[in-house]
Structure 1
Amino acid sequence: MELRSSIPAAALDERDDEPRPGDGDGEFDWNDDLWAGARRDPMPAGADAVTIVLPRFTQEQEGEQRAARLLLREGLVLVAVAAFQAALAWRAAGVGTNVADQTAMVKAGHQEIAHLLHGRHVIRYETVLPGSPVLYPVLAAALDSVGGMHAVRAVNLWLVLLATVGVHCTARRLYGPVAGALAAGLFAGLGPTLHLSVSGTYDAPAACLLVWAAFFAVRFAFADGRHAVWLVPVLMLAANWTSYITVLWDPVILALVAFAGPGYRAWKTSRSWNAQRVALVTGVLAEITLLVGRAPTFTGIATTVMNRSAAHATAGVVLRHGAQWLGPVLIAALLGTIVAGWRLWRGSVGRAEVGVWVTLLVAGLLAPLNQLRWHSLDGSVSHCALSGAFAAVAAGAFLARLCSWAGRAGAAWRVVALGAMCAALVPLGLAGASQAATHTGSATKATRSVAGEG
């Protein structure tokens, strides 16, 4: 847009010798942008008029408007992904919820509240439930007192939606907005994600905390904010105490700090020193929580995660279930890692970038590998949601790179490729909803005894 004004040519000639802004005193002209300090002179009669074109907006204003439009566009994409996930969760609601585990959480929470308020005797749930009994069970019991299990599941759905936003933010910071949108869509359509969205167990808040811990780890690695050195361990430890199984992903968080970002150029220190700082703060906070908390908490982690006795499920059954839950995102993450290794061999990327890809791929494989170590399917769908959050980031980045390669043949090809990938998310999400709806799960013997079923 332009602003046009007519000024006599003679008046312009007379102004050439006049002082510019700041050179002298005088009455301000009507056009402060052109002559901020010029005096107002009478217009000579019969003078010819010339047209001066002044810019309507500055370059900085245009940049701000462009950034605002981009932010609005990304916000609309996130809203669409959240609506897509909520619709799929509604489709999967009902059959796929594990009533025994939900009942165990709520019952343990009510007993813990009675113990905290009235000193009522309570069993040592730290070694029975796979999470701290004074965190999520207490919250679930409070929500149950207000709105029943529907309130518990509604809060869990909100937490899983927040985890989807965290996946988008992590992928966007690492690989760009297109990768963020595709990663969020992939994570939203996974069967394990939809299972957490409709269940009332501790896995939903644990996944949300773990995803945001990874995001702030990436922010710290990119030097977006030094406060992240505290947020990373706080969120990570909160996830650990909410669900003990999340300790398996703690090395992944530290690896993201070590490999992501520009390293020395960001903090004037090496990448390894960044990881050491986060590890040091994490160790100090973990020691404090162990000292002020209950002693059996560490025992519960060792019992339910590290020293858990193996079951009788065969390796083929465990791997088949893992492929069923995470197959599409793991394949895309593996292809992206292979491409990153090939680019490293050609010298177009550094070893640190390949390290990020490998870290995300390993994080995606942690849940199936741990179930294989246990020879058990107990909790496999919930644990696969944790792996899916990291694998979706790598998968979204690989698909975004495919769109970029298609864009080299023309902008139309890039639009077609992106549209095809977005369209493919719909059947993927419907398949995930079907998997979540048909998965009834099985409660452990411990949680069945807490719920009063055995």
Structure 2
Amino acid sequence: MPDVPESAWSFDARRSVRLGRILLACVLLVQAVLSLRLRGTAFEDEALYIASGHYELANLLHGTPLPVDFNGYFSGYPKLYPVLAAVVDTHFGLTGVRVVSLAFMLGTTGLLYATTQRMFNVRAALGAAALFSVVQSTVFLGYFATFDAPALFLLSLSAWVVVRTGRTHTLAVLLAAPPAVLAFGTKYASGLFLPTLVLLAVITAYRHRGWRALARGVVLGIGCAVLLGAGSLVTGHIGGISQTTTNRAHGTDTAMQMLRDCANWGGLLALAAVGGSIAYGMRARMGEMPWVGSATPGPLRRISLGVVLTGSTLLAPLYQIHLGTETSLFKHVGFGLLFAAPMAGLGLARLVGPHFRNPQLGIMLYVGTLTFGMVQAHDEYSFPDSTNMVAYMRTVVNDKGTYLAEESEVPAYYLQDVTTWNQWQNTFNLDYDAKDGKHYSGPAAFHAAVMDGRYNAIVLRGGVTPDNDQAVMDALKGNPHYRLVAVLPFTTTIGSGDYRIWVKQ
């Protein structure tokens, strides 16, 4: 007599798989609705990457010189995602580029479901997809035109390949190397999670191969290293890795502040992952028919899997604590949550219990995660509405002037049909040789440039670069070169403000 499989959702019968796919479609629909409800004009980063993509595309197709070395300060290789974004922007505008991000994030959730189902079962897979689909970073990045969404998709694709090839020939794991390296090229911060993929390659094969599974990790590591080396030979020096990732300027944000914010953004999913890891380490399977015995993974593999996947949630927070900066952490935390989600899905399944004994507990966890994610994504997505500012600046700019704007990337993107990139100067940093023959940098440079009447128009909104803004404001007081021509109000979730525009007389 053959072994009798456990009943219900602990055994992925054809009926449960079909039902799981239907419920996954519902999860993806909710995720899409939550992301599509976000609205706003282009954020500074979105405008920067899309506009740079147009210049990179012209360079690739026609050899047009680049206005600046985007490769020197981007957090991803500028000829990957920015070029894709520029192609889409040409035909469908900013909305089209954001929809591409949504497609990447929906694909990420779908691959997460497939990966978790392969490791555990349909019930855990649904829990993982449901929780991950509604956390703040997932909802936000689903309608945000930056490197992050495609990088997450490529990492999830690599993880799926690693798990899917766990029982095949050792060399099959090399199929996971190209998407992993592409994820790194798309966004350099993805490199934090390459060791997780290598360890996952070992753990997923350990049950069937024993210590020979170490060969999978070695093969995958070598494959990634070879591809990274080949990529570096093709692309040359990439200064953006150092400036934005490995040697980023240290900030003053405290560790406690960043840990508290990370707990707000993904604490419920991380807590479920910890619970799932502990439960999985103690018992391999939730016995819906406890009298039925079958082979299960050993405790070493179970504990290792929980530690590696759940521990990945700490990689981005700890690295940014080391740097002392919270910049982009609300997005980066989602990368760790992707890897912790399978254990969170298992934790949700164990919380509900065999035979769906406590469904209310699972519903409470999902609704709580949904509520936090929905509100937090809306708050983070509240950018100043630049519509009126751009419309007014269109009446002022031409192809010969020089313009100072606090977030110059936004008007430079919207007005790229009448201006070029080098006509715009932001307020982040400046070195300036003044008319008095002296060289200035920092706030003094902005003050001297405005006093000299260098710019044909100036746009400030405050709050982004306060020291440099104040230097500009001081130089504008009583300055005969400029007059204030417009004050355009806007409102965000953190308060009201206005764009102030000065034009050279």
**Is TM > 0.5 for Structure 1 vs Structure 2?**
yes
Whole-angstrom distance in 1 between the partners of 2:365 and 2:108: 22
Whole-angstrom distance in 2 between the partners of 1:426 and 1:159: 24
Aligned to 2:60: 116
Q: Where does 1:29-428 land on structure 2 (aligned, <5 Å)?
A: 67-91=13-37, 93-94=38-39, 99-122=43-66, 123-220=68-165, 222-224=166-168, 228-263=172-207, 265-266=208-209, 270-291=212-233, 293-297=234-238, 299-342=239-282, 349-403=298-352, 406-407=353-354, 414-418=355-359, 420-422=361-363, 424-428=365-369
- CA offsets, 1:358-382, max 9 Å, x none? 0011211112112211211211121
- CA offsets, 1:41-87, max 9 Å, x none? xxxxxxxxxxxxxxxxxxxxxxxxx9543332121011011011112
Could you tell me the TM-score, scaled by structure 1's length?
Answer: 0.76
Q: Where does 1:423-434 land on structure 2 (aligned, <5 Å)?
A: 424-434=365-375
Could you tell me the TM-score, scaled by structure 2's length?
Answer: 0.68
- In structure 2, the CA distance between the partners of 1:360 and 1:247, relative to structure 1 (3 Å rule), is same
Gaps of 5+ in 1: 1-65, 408-413
- In structure 2, the CA distance between the partners of 1:237 and 1:425, relative to structure 1 (3 Å rule), is same
Whole-angstrom distance in 1 between the partners of 2:297 and 2:179: 35
- In structure 2, the CA distance between the partners of 1:100 and 1:275, relative to structure 1 (3 Å rule), is same
The amino acid that maps onto 2:253 is: A
Whole-angstrom distance in 2 between the partners of 1:107 and 1:204: 18
CA contact (8 A) 1:81 1:188 kept: yes
Aligned to 2:379: 438
- CA offsets, 1:401-444, max 9 Å, x none? 333xx32xxxxxx324246414642342132111001014899x
Gaps of 5+ in 2: 1-11, 285-295, 385-405, 411-423, 428-505
Whole-angstrom distance in 1 between the partners of 2:264 and 2:87: 35
- In structure 2, the CA distance between the partners of 1:115 and 1:67, relative to structure 1 (3 Å rule), is same
- In structure 2, the CA distance between the partners of 1:132 and 1:370, relative to structure 1 (3 Å rule), is same
CA contact (8 A) 2:270 2:310 kept: yes
- CA offsets, 1:193-243, max 9 Å, x none? 0010111111000001011111111122x2157674232110000100000
Whole-angstrom distance in 1 between the partners of 2:98 and 2:170: 35
Whole-angstrom distance in 2 between the partners of 1:432 and 1:371: 22
Whole-angstrom distance in 2 between the partners of 1:241 and 1:337: 31
The structure, 1 or 2, with the larger RCO (C-alpha pairs under 8 Å, 6+ apart) is 1
Q: In proportion to residue count, which structure has more helix?
A: 1
Whole-angstrom distance in 1 between the partners of 2:192 and 2:337: 14
The amino acid that maps onto 2:49 is: M
CA contact (8 A) 2:43 2:383 kept: no
Task: Report the secondary structure of 1:179's partner residue.
Answer: helix
Query: In the TM superposition, what is the alpha-carbon distance from 1:114 to its structure 2 partner?
Result: 1.4
- CA offsets, 1:340-389, max 9 Å, x none? 45559xx9942122111100112111121122112112111211111111
CA contact (8 A) 1:88 1:429 kept: no
Query: In the TM superposition, what is the alpha-carbon distance from 1:191 to its structure 2 partner?
Result: 0.6
- In structure 2, the CA distance between the partners of 1:449 and 1:161, relative to structure 1 (3 Å rule), is same
Whole-angstrom distance in 2 between the partners of 1:75 and 1:216: 19
CA contact (8 A) 1:104 1:448 kept: no
Whole-angstrom distance in 2 between the partners of 1:225 and 1:78: 30
The amino acid that maps onto 2:149 is: A
CA contact (8 A) 1:127 1:304 kept: no
The amino acid that maps onto 1:318 is: M
Deviates more, 1:422-431 or 1:173-182: 422-431
Task: Report the secondary structure of 1:129's partner residue.
Answer: coil
Whole-angstrom distance in 1 between the partners of 2:45 and 2:92: 18
Whole-angstrom distance in 2 between the partners of 1:348 and 1:102: 45
CA contact (8 A) 2:309 2:340 kept: yes
- In structure 2, the CA distance between the partners of 1:325 and 1:170, relative to structure 1 (3 Å rule), is same
- CA offsets, 1:97-153, max 9 Å, x none? 761010001111011011112222212212211001000000001111001000001
CA contact (8 A) 1:88 1:430 kept: no
The amino acid that maps onto 1:317 is: Q
Whole-angstrom distance in 2 between the partners of 1:315 and 1:67: 47
Whole-angstrom distance in 2 between the partners of 1:133 and 1:146: 20
Task: Report the secondary structure of 1:261's partner residue.
Answer: helix
The amino acid that maps onto 2:218 is: Q
Whole-angstrom distance in 1 between the partners of 2:235 and 2:154: 21
- In structure 2, the CA distance between the partners of 1:419 and 1:80, relative to structure 1 (3 Å rule), is farther
Query: In the TM superposition, what is the alpha-carbon distance from 1:321 to its structure 2 partner?
Result: 1.1
Deviates more, 1:281-290 or 1:183-192: 281-290
Deviates more, 1:349-358 or 1:195-204: 349-358
Whole-angstrom distance in 2 between the partners of 1:73 and 1:261: 28
- CA offsets, 1:9-67, max 9 Å, x none? xxxxxxxxxxxxxxxxxxxxxxxxxxxxxxxxxxxxxxxxxxxxxxxxxxxxxxxxx95
- In structure 2, the CA distance between the partners of 1:337 and 1:329, relative to structure 1 (3 Å rule), is same
Whole-angstrom distance in 2 between the partners of 1:219 and 1:362: 22
Query: In the TM superposition, what is the alpha-carbon distance from 1:302 to its structure 2 partner?
Result: 3.0
Whole-angstrom distance in 2 between the partners of 1:176 and 1:114: 48
Aligned to 1:28: none
* Percent identity of paired positions between Structure 1 and Structure 2: 29
